[in-house]
Amino acid sequence: MSANSAENFAPLPDITEPKWWTGSPAISPELFVVDGNDYRTDGQPLVPSDELAAHMQATFDRVGLVHVINTGLDDLQSMRLIATQVLKNERKYEGGANPRRPIEKNVYEVGAPLEAWLHYHHEMAYIGSSTKMVSFMAHKMPSEGGATFVSDNCQATDALMATEFGQKLKKRGLCYHRNLTDRESFVDRLNIGVYNHWQQSMLTDDPDAAIAEARNRGLEAEWGEGRLLKTRYYISAFEYFPQLDRNLLYASLADDAMWFDTWPLVQHLPADERPLKLTFGDGTEMTAEEKQLFLKIYDDYGIPINWQVGDVAIICNYRFAHGRPAVHLKEGEERELGVLIGESFDRLQTYDDKW
């Protein structure tokens, strides 16, 4: 099959689609929604204020999730000023897996095709320097669909630890396998099988700097054939969360080959040839039943965030996972979320007395 016939690729059969939620939110929106109308003057667009910041911060501290609605905003920088009432220490998206493109200063695109569903995940859980929170800002929204889902990770952790699989994850840990392609190998070629090039992930065109950056992120890294940057990361499936003084689940199947089940130009590849793979820390594979349970744990505690243009959400990366179904646009419609990456932290993993 030639590169030009890639549009004829079909997804592999027997893929498992996330359910996202049970139909009822695991946490009432009343606990995390902040109505911008309460802080607007004479119908003017929302602007930062001490009162708004205090409400947002108290909500975030209590729940780990804030959704600001009715802002009257339609530009990303004005939304960013609202988000940074809580997300105060922005960082660049360095060492990440997704090919995120900057939209504006410190504001990134989601970095995934709309037709692909994005499994629940914790942002940047697969490197040693993760992030405490992430913010999404609704810039352009379709008339139907387009929701983001978050999953209550406290409830998910409790449910998982009551299973044999959860105890197995606790004992064995995880290995994240990631293969980053070389951008120069795809000049004038269709990006078949490409998820992200190492030049974009590591923010450099220098191979020596790229592998140094990977290792600086706590990854084992080596070069494969065709300047394929192959990284491996061994880590607990859990992370200690100081605010709640407990270990929480900090992993998902978003870092497995099934992430690409609906990803154009990659979904046709057999699992072992896809850019990501997740195994137990001892290298053994998860069974199909274990993967299904891993998906269900997050789905059972899902909550939809139904966007309107101008909405701003801040999500604690410890207390919630996030994801979304595929988005199908009508003619002339767009969906664009601006993404802010919050303050970084070095993975602690877990404490034996904090389960």
Would you state the pLDDT for residue 14? 66
Query: What's the rounded mean pLDDT across residues 253-282?
Result: 93
Query: What's the rounded mean pLDDT across residues 149-178?
Result: 98
Residues 6+ apart with CB under 8 A from 146: 307, 324, 327, 335
pLDDT reading at 90 higher than 60: yes
Would you state the pLDDT for residue 100? 47
Our count of domains for the chain comes to 1
Are the CB atoms for 80 and 86 separated by under 8 Å?
no
Residue 229 lies in a domain: yes
User: Distance between CA atoms of 214 and 129, rounded to whole angstroms?
Assistant: 11
Query: What's the rounded mean pLDDT across residues 64-86?
Result: 97
Residues 6+ apart with CB under 8 A from 268: 9, 10, 11, 12
- Find the domain containing 73 and state its range: 31-346
Please name every residue paired with 174 in a beta bridge, in sequence order, or none if there are none. Answer: 235, 280
Q: Tell me, what CATH number does 80's domain have?
A: 3.60.130.10
Q: CA distances (Å), 237 to each of 177, 241, 320, in order?
A: 14, 13, 15
- Report the range out of 87-91, 114-118, 149-153 with the highest average pLDDT: 149-153
pLDDT reading at 11 higher than 80: no
Would you state the pLDDT for residue 280? 98
Would you state the pLDDT for residue 25? 98
Query: What's the rounded mean pLDDT across residues 218-224?
Result: 93
Residue 69 lies in a domain: yes
Query: What's the rounded mean pLDDT across residues 251-265?
Result: 93
User: Distance between CA atoms of 222 and 231, rounded to whole angstroms?
Assistant: 7
Instruction: Kindly state the percentage of the chain with pLDDT values over 90.
Output: 77
DSSP H helices in the chain: 50-63, 76-83, 153-161, 164-172, 198-201, 207-216, 288-299
Residue 179 lies in a domain: yes
Q: CA distances (Å), 158 to each of 165, 181, 249, 255, 304, in order?
A: 12, 38, 9, 21, 21
Tens digits of per-residue pLDDT, 285-341? 999 999 999 999 999 999 999 999 999 999 999 999 999 999 999 999 999 999 999
Residue 86 lies in a domain: yes
Query: What's the rounded mean pLDDT across residues 52-65?
Result: 98
| 260 phi and psi angles, rounded to 5 deg | -100, 15
pLDDT reading at 37 higher than 80: yes
Residue 351 lies in a domain: no
Would you state the pLDDT for residue 3? 40
Residue 235 lies in a domain: yes
Would you state the pLDDT for residue 5? 42
Residues 6+ apart with CB under 8 A from 39: 46, 49, 51, 52, 55
Residue 143 lies in a domain: yes
User: Distance between CA atoms of 336 and 309, rounded to whole angstroms?
Assistant: 9
Residue 242 lies in a domain: yes
Are the CB atoms for 241 and 248 separated by under 8 Å?
yes
Would you state the pLDDT for residue 110? 58
DSSP H helices in 203-335: 207-216, 288-299
User: Distance between CA atoms of 157 and 64, rounded to whole angstroms?
Assistant: 15
Kindly state the helix (H) or strand (E) to which residue 344 belongs, with its residue range: strand 344-346
For tokens 């966007």, the residue is 307
CA proximity to 339, closest of 317, 326, 328: 317
pLDDT reading at 2 higher than 60: no
* 102-111, 255-264, 272-281: least confident range: 102-111
